[in-house]
Amino acid sequence: MQIPFEPILFGYHINMHLVLEYLAFFVAFRYYVFLRKGRVDAISSMNRLSIILGAAIGALIGSRLVGLLENPLIAFSKENMFQLLNTKTIMGGLFGGLLGVELAKKMIGETQSSGDLFVFPIILGIFIGRIGCFLSGINEFTYGSETTSVFGMDLGDGLFRHPTSLYELVFLVFLFFTLKYIKNLVDLKNGDLFKIFMLCYFGFRFFIEFLKPNVFYIFGLSSIQILCIICCLYYHKFIVRLILGKAR
C-alpha cells in the first residue's frame, strides 16, 4: 500500500482522512450512547445536552485556534489563510471542549462532574482519526521528522520519517485498556477518570511533539507543547492530590 493512500472510487480520489474523521465522530457518539444506556446518569438529559453543546462549540473554536497557532510564521496570503482557517487539531478540540463544558455547566448551574462518560468514546474516536492521519502521510501535518531509526517510514516524500501517528495508535490502545483497568480496580471520584485521561494524553503529546518538524518558537516549545503545560496547570490541584495519595 502506498502512502498517502488515496483510493479511487467511480473515478474520484477518496480523501481517507476526511472519511475516517467523520467515521470517528459517528462511532464515538454511538459508543457514548451505548455506554450511557442502562445506567443512572446523575445529570439530567437536558443538562447533559447543554453540556454536549458546550463541548462541541468549545472544541470547534479550540481546534481551529490551536491549529492556527501551529503555523505562527507562515507567510500571509489568500491561499495560506484559507489553509490555516481549515487547519484543526484534536489537542485544541479537547482543551477547548473542556472549557466549553465548564462554561456550560456554570450557565446552567450543574455541579456534577460530566467527563468520565466521554473518556472511552474520545479515545476510540481519536484512534480512528489517527488511522486517517497515517494514511494521509505528508498531506496532514501529523507526520514525524526525518530519522535513521528502524521505525522510519516513507510517508510520501521519499524520506524516512517517524510514523508518529502509528506511535500514537499504540499508545491509545495501551491507554484504553489501562484506564479500563483503573476504572474497574480503583474507586475513583466522579470526574477523576477524565482528568487522568487528559493528563496522560497531553503528557504523551508533549513528548511526541519533539519528533515532529514543529515550529519551536517560545522557550523551545511548540504551541501544542505549551497547551500541554497549560492543561497540567489547569489540573494542578488534582495532580497534587494524586501525589499526596488522595485520589480516592
Q: For residue 210, what pLDDT is reported?
A: 92
Phi, psi angles (nearest 5°) of residue 245 = 75, 30
Residue 145 backbone zone (phi > 0: left; psi -120 to 50: alpha; other: beta): beta
Residues in the chain with pLDDT values less than 50? 73, 82
Residue 146: its pLDDT value, please?
A: 92
> What pLDDT does 247 receive?
52
40 half-sphere exposure, CB direction, 13 A CA radius: 1
Query: Grid coordinates in use for 140?
Result: 496532514
Q: What is the pLDDT of residues 202-220, one digit of tens each?
A: 999 999 999 998 777 778 8
**Number of neighbouring beta carbons within 10 Å of residue 148:** 7
Query: Looking at residue 161, what is its pLDDT?
Result: 93
The reported pTM is 0.87
